[in-house]
Amino acid sequence: MITTVETIEARPRRGTELLLLFFALAIVLLAWVDTEIANRGAVPAGLATIGGGLLAVVLLMHLVVRWKAPYADPLLLPIATLLNGLGLVMIHRLDLAAGNFGFEGDAFRQLIWTGISVTVAAGVLWLLRDHRTLRRYTYTAMAAGVLLLVLPLMPVIGNEQYGSRIWIRLGPMSFQPGEIAKIALTIFFAGYLVQTRDVLSLAGRKVLGFTFPRGRDLGPIMVAWAVSIAVLVFEKDLGSSLLFFGLFVAMLYVATERMSWIAIGMTLFAASAWVAFNLFTHLQRRVTLWLDPFSAASLEQSDQLAKGLMGMAAGGLFGTGLGAGRPWLVAFAQSDFIIPSLGEELGMTGLFAVLVLYGLFVQRGLRTALGVRDGFGKLLALGLAFSVALQVFVVIGGVTRVIPLTGLTTPFMSLGGSALLANWSILALLLRISDQARRPVPDSDGLSEVTARRKAGTPYAAPAPDGPGQPSARKTGAAVPATDGGAGQ
């Protein structure tokens, strides 16, 4: 398809991102004021301090993005800021209900973690000048990911909470290393699949219309399946197990474009889920809660899901209003069940708005994957975006009884420093990849091809970049830059 130069050439959009950031901060501050007025009857005295702190944090990130990644997607940072800010507002609202004010509340600790996470994200953008550098550390990322998954099993630092052993404790602080392992394993999956996608996509036998891989090519998916089962068995963490295995199967399918991998993955997951259900009582309890949360057997175990559903029902279409509901009646309303808390006070309309924000975030990540010119970047961006999408589905599906509860946190919104740190790091990587994807490619004269064609007044046909899910432009005879390879290319 022929597209004009004006629609192809990307330009730095400093004004657009800054305007959206101010708009996001305005929504957060208005929600904060609304919550304070509903609970205390007055505008908070420290509003200027709160607003100034948030403004300083996001402006720092904005300046780093504009300096180090000027062509990055202008929507990703404002969306993350708004989601993070709305989560802070709801956590503060629950603090007010519990009588925790100022430095004693969870909102203050979440604000500190927000500052740390944004600083780390800015550091990632500053130090990582080219995302293809990460391809050199494919197997190092695998080792780091496995090590992070194993850490909670260590006898000294490992810590079991609420039936799952997914935490490590260092003095007064606790951390969930599986959140960082998610990023490391995504880097490994992307690097490995770029190297082996030809073998995994071409070799095999055709059975009933599906081309199934050779037995020796099943190794990668079997290893990923074994790791996810180990997480489920030893750490009793259904959510992380589902996330890791689903992420790998999705990336494997995109890299090879073979439905047989989806069929194999679903079969392995269904078989392991059935075996785990028959072996582990904690999974049986979760399935019982999922099937009928209002039954006597379920309420004897936990009333969390039942109260969450009743809270969302009480919110109706437009909600009770910020500060006017009773979300504190649900256990872990600030973390696992922050979505029902928002649903009660913002209603179904507000909840749909939050889902639209997540949908836009994932869509911009997938658009980045389509636009970047190297196969590693495509798979990495797709894996990062899909991990957010899958986690949102698992969380919201759990609290709305679409699937059993898993214990995962809502990205950017739930209380928790490790999850916030991981999600802002994912944002930084997507910004770096989108900067590469949207940056014009210089020709031999030092000018971008689109700029040269604009000066000549001719339309520009965008070449289809080689990579997973994309037809090869070389088959059509179009000129394509050499892009697969390391950072040095």
Residue found under tokens 């636009």: 371
**pLDDT on residue 351:** 95
**pLDDT on residue 215:** 61
Residue found under tokens 């101010």: 22
Print pLDDT tens along the chain (489 aa). Answer: 333 333 334 566 667 888 999 999 999 999 999 998 988 888 877 777 778 888 888 899 999 999 999 999 999 999 999 999 999 999 999 998 888 777 778 888 899 999 999 999 999 999 999 999 999 998 899 888 888 888 888 877 777 766 667 778 776 777 888 889 889 989 998 998 888 877 777 666 666 666 666 666 667 667 777 777 777 667 677 777 888 888 888 888 888 887 877 888 888 888 888 887 887 787 888 888 899 999 888 888 889 999 999 999 999 999 999 988 899 999 889 988 999 999 999 999 999 999 999 999 999 999 999 999 899 999 999 999 999 999 999 999 999 999 888 878 899 999 988 899 999 999 999 999 999 998 887 654 444 544 544 554 544 444 444 444 444 443 444 433 344 444 333
SS3 175: strand
Half-sphere exposure of residue 479: CA atoms within 13 angstroms, side-chain side: 5
Residue found under tokens 């991998």: 261
3-state secondary structure 359-419: HHHHHHHHHHHHHCCCHHHHHHHHHHHHHHHHHHHHHHHHHCCCCCCCCCCCCCCCCCHHH
SS3 170: strand
**pLDDT on residue 80:** 96
**pLDDT on residue 200:** 72
- Which residues share a beta bridge with 168? 158, 175
DSSP per position, 189-225:
HHHHHHHHHHHHHH-SEEETTEEEPPGGGGHHHHHHH
**pLDDT on residue 347:** 94
> CA-to-CA distance for 259 and 21, rounded, in angstroms?
41
Question: Is residue 82 a contact partner of residue 358, using CB atoms and an 8 Å limit?
Answer: no
> CA-to-CA distance for 149 and 176, rounded, in angstroms?
9
**pLDDT on residue 302:** 87
Residue 386's nearest CA partner among 369, 401, 410, 399 is: 369
